[in-house]
A and B are shown apart, each in its own frame.
Chain A
């Protein structure tokens, strides 16, 4: 489609941004790119920044000095030579969408490490502006940067910002408005590399989206994608020959040599423009950070985070106080009686009455659950998660847990989807995209489906088992055991590389309220769009099942199954509802809890947690993992859940324990 076609007619935001001059935000993960994006685009776009990376590409409209721009927030990128899917996406975007300005956002205190990409972008002939972000942290570390001199050395505009507070954003906008591309400086490599660059450039006859020099450099560094794109050249063989000759002369990879030479050049620049005041003492933050990473102090700190963040705030406050208030005061006292009254008065058919109101109606069950139970629990969880995420605690937790996770075929980074799973397993399953190997994605998806209860389910289970501390302990113990044991088996059975672990540890940061709010809000929006429709669907299914008598047949069958694991027939309904939504199952248990003993409650809670994931999660599993893998997982999970309940029952009976 030519750009002219899309620029006329009714304008949606997506269409409109296509016609505008484009600004691309580029940079490695965790440099505050998304925050700058938000500050530039104001409220025009919903941010979808999943932890660690921006999985999807966000485009928003920005008005700068009266002119509209399309701003693209690209996924995190370390180098123009991609290894991850995100980097590939970003490079493709830069090469093919031809942005008019490329804003390279860097973490100012790590200027010596991040200028690599700036230079690579300049080498590619892109219209680069350098944004030194997180200036507040750089100052905390005692760094002073001479901006004017840096501009002269790189021959590109350089702007200082602190995106979290908004400092420097106005200046940035001014410079965007004034921006004109100059001929930037290029860096000279040693003669063997320069010679081969020249030889390759001479052989490049076709037109490329970036400079021939940059193309030749990428070819020298054996970039496969670029090599494929060069195949059309008449002298492709010569080019390959040149590359393999240089390779033979060097005993190290050329990429390594080029990076080292570039680093030497950067060191020269940094020596000139950066002043470092070393006298600053180790701040409190650093001491706290080390305490978090030392197992002796780190594990108690982790337990404190769980206790206050998860148990007190999400469990007691969100799932207790707020849910009680909404359930009994809002729905129990007003909405449900009102709706029931309405349908009974105005609708003559019982089946339609039941679809909308009464015990299992869309409003009285579906919406009530969504608003009164799910909303408070999930939003309190997302608040805690956003605080934890913004404070920089997750990499430290990943570091503590890496050794344990290696045993189950994962690496420490998997804590991010796992912790998120305690909020919403569906969202966590989406986040598995950021994992590097297929094996890790499969194991994480399986464990999320099997052993990680979501916040809604967790809330109800805590409520049921509150009176039985021993049963609660038994539940926790069995869940941890299953998580580790199945993870261990899965890591042995599923083929694939051994995972390895590397992660940058950002400094601890005091999260800012406005950023927490934006994150929580965008997650809630996602949740309501992706998950709530399934809740409504579930209540329609339940209505249909009740109406047709289908449920009675299934419950009849399930009664036998629950009998095997030592539970009374009343719980069969809870299991059936658990099919539709994880917490429906647990909530169904809530209704019959008085008829159950501590043992039975523990067994039922364990089996229900392990049992099939909710419909929303299931649909995401099919989407992300494909139907073969998902069906295989389900065929395992379903019998396994009951098997564990069965074994637990036998053990409890034979030991004569009453929980």
Chain B
């Protein structure tokens, strides 16, 4: 099942597929770096940094309509603050898996809508 729900993007872009593609292309470009930062913060044991990285990602994932990944990021943010980065290792792993699935779905959407992938 695709994690994509682009209803919010459609409202943001007034249903214009070209504009949606413009934004999604940028997401595909920027998201790996942002999730890379999440992974790095988790790896370094920086709870505050991890919470901030999860917090920063939340709206972007929300725009892509991936509710499970949104929920997980919010949990990482909350637990990183209260329990530290170590307590979030599994959740961060799960975030990265969902991130890859989302990226794949977005690439497919781009390929279907613009023929570029």
Partners in one complex: no
Chain B positions near chain A (C-beta within 8 angstroms): none
